[in-house]
Amino acid sequence: MSTASPDLSELTDPDLIQQMHDDLYDGLAETVVAAVTELLRRGWTPYDTLTRGLVSGMEIVGIDFRDGILFVPEVLKAAKAMTAGMALLRPLLAETGAPQIGTMVIGTVKGDIHDIGKNLVAMMMEGAGFKVINLGINNDADKFIAAVREHRPEILGMSALLTTTMPYMQVVIRALKDQGLREQVVVLVGGASLNAAFAEEIEADAYCRDAATAVETAKQWIAIRRGQHS
C-alpha cells in the first residue's frame, strides 16, 4: 500500500475514501484523522464518514488478517488509526440533542480485547439519546452484574469477536438469572462471529449485527417494556 500523502483537499470523494482506506490499512492515524476532517468539511454526515469511510476500511484489514497477509502488530496499528478517527466523530454523533431515552451498560466479555465495534455501538447509542456506561474489554460476569446493580440499565450489551469468547455471554446471562436480575434488563449481543441462532440459544433477547441495528433494537425493546409496565 502507498505511504505517499497527497493533498487530501484535491482528491475526489471516491479517491479520498480510497486514500483513507489505504492509510487505515497502513495504520497512519494522523492522515486518517485528516481524511475524516476533510470528509466532514465537504458536508459528509458523521454517520456516512464512519460507515462508508472507517468501517468499510476496517473490513479490508479484517480480510487480509484472516488471509494471513496482515499480522497482529499491523492490525493493532490499523485499530489505533481507526480509534483516532472515531474519536473525532464521537462528539458529533452524540450531538443530536435527542432526549435521554434510557441507560445501557455495555462491555466486551472476558478473554476478549476487541473493542472497536463495541465502542462504535456505544457511540451510536449515545447519539440516539442513551446514557451509556462503557465497561471496556475483558469483563467477567461479576463486573457485568455489579454494573447492572449500580446503574440499573434497561439494556445490557455484550460484545465478543472470537468464537472462543462468545460462549462466555451465556455465563453472564446465567449469572444474571442466578442473581434475580435477568428480568430487569434486555440483553443484546453482538460481534462478528455471532448470529441470531446463537443469541437465541444463550437466551439473549436479541442479536444485533451492527451498531445501527443495536440502536433500533434497543429502542424497540424499551417501547415494549414501557408499554407492558404502563
Contact footprint for ligand B1M (CB under 6 A): 55, 58, 61-62, 65-66, 72, 75-76, 79, 106, 111-118, 120-121, 157-159, 161-163, 188-193, 208, 210-211, 214
Tell me the closest approach of the beta carbon of residue 14 to ligand B1M, in angstroms. 21
Q: What radius of gyration do the chain's Cα atoms show? A: 19
Amino acid at position 89, single letter? L
Of 16 and 189, nearer to ligand B1M (C-beta) is 189
Tell me the closest approach of the beta carbon of residue 29 to ligand B1M, in angstroms. 13
Closest of 210, 105, 109 to residue 164, by C-alpha: 109
Tell me the closest approach of the beta carbon of residue 62 to ligand B1M, in angstroms. 3
Of 62 and 167, nearer to ligand B1M (C-beta) is 62
Closest of 149, 156, 148, 64 to residue 108, by C-alpha: 156
Number of C-beta neighbours around residue 80 at 10 A: 15
Q: Are 107 and 70 in contact (CB under 8 A)?
A: no
Indicate if the alpha-carbon torsion angle 209, 104, 143, 115 is positive or negative. positive
What Cα–Cα distance (Å) separates residue 172 from each residue in 143, 177, 182, 203? 9, 9, 10, 11
The secondary element (H helix, E strand) that includes residue 157 is strand 155-159
Q: Which residue is nearest to ligand B1M (CB)?
A: 117
Tell me the closest approach of the beta carbon of residue 114 to ligand B1M, in angstroms. 4
What's the grid cell of residue 132?
Answer: 451509556
Of 35 and 61, nearer to ligand B1M (C-beta) is 61
Of 32 and 188, nearer to ligand B1M (C-beta) is 188
What Cα–Cα distance (Å) separates residue 59 from each residue in 146, 167, 213? 34, 24, 18
Of 8 and 78, nearer to ligand B1M (C-beta) is 78
Tell me the closest approach of the beta carbon of residue 120 to ligand B1M, in angstroms. 4
Tell me the closest approach of the beta carbon of residue 217 to ligand B1M, in angstroms. 8
Of 11 and 111, nearer to ligand B1M (C-beta) is 111
